[in-house]
Copies of this chain bind each other. A is one copy, B any other.
Amino acid sequence: MKYKVKSSTQIFKGRLINLHVDEIVNENGTTGYREVVVHPGGAAIVAVKDDGKILMVTQFRYPIQKTIYELPAGKLDKSEEPALCAARELEEETGYKSDNIIKLGEIVSSPGFCDEILHLFLARDLKPGNKNQEEGEYGMLTYEFTLEEIETKIRKGEIIDAKTICAIYLAKSHLVPVFLT
């Protein structure tokens, strides 16, 4: 896809996101208009206890006005390594830490208007750490579910967070080797 940027107008520079609007000309001569949200990206983590239970949290999400189940997750601090972000958010949100973290993959949440990339991880060998919830995480609770319980909640529509569903999908081949056969 070849195109030329005719104009790019910065609309907003926020604490979390920036927004710009671009006018482009495609190589076939048609013109296009793009609203682009720039996001620092984030990380989410499937943290599995020795008994096989997976840590989930509930958080009130202001834009959708709902408290939803999610994996521990957060946005990348400036030039933060995604694995460090995942480990940090795991400890801050649940009080568990791990030295056994592997990467499951990366996803894009809304590529039509936003550049957000979410890095997905799997943590095992959990150890006690220090919980430290931020302002927006006030009221966050930690839950422990089996993989089967989580999959049932996804199918029933009780887990609707995209990154959580994607990470569970990717983690499953590590947690249930038979899935790969």
Contact = CB atoms under 8 A, between A and B. Distances in A.
Contact of A30 (B21, B39, B135, B154): B135
Given A154-B169, A161-B108, A166-B166, A136 B16 contact: no
B11 A63 contact: no
Interface string A32-62: 1111111100100000000000000000111
Contact of A109 (B15, B75, B162): B162
Contact of A165 (B19, B21, B75, B166): B166
A102 interface: no
Contact of A111 (B61, B108, B112): B61
Interface residues of A, number: 64
23 contacts: A1-B138, A11-B11, A24-B62, A30-B138, A34-B63, A37-B37, A37-B63, A39-B110, A61-B108, A63-B111, A64-B117, A66-B111, A68-B111, A105-B154, A105-B157, A105-B160, A107-B161, A107-B162, A108-B162, A110-B162, A114-B114, A155-B170, A166-B169
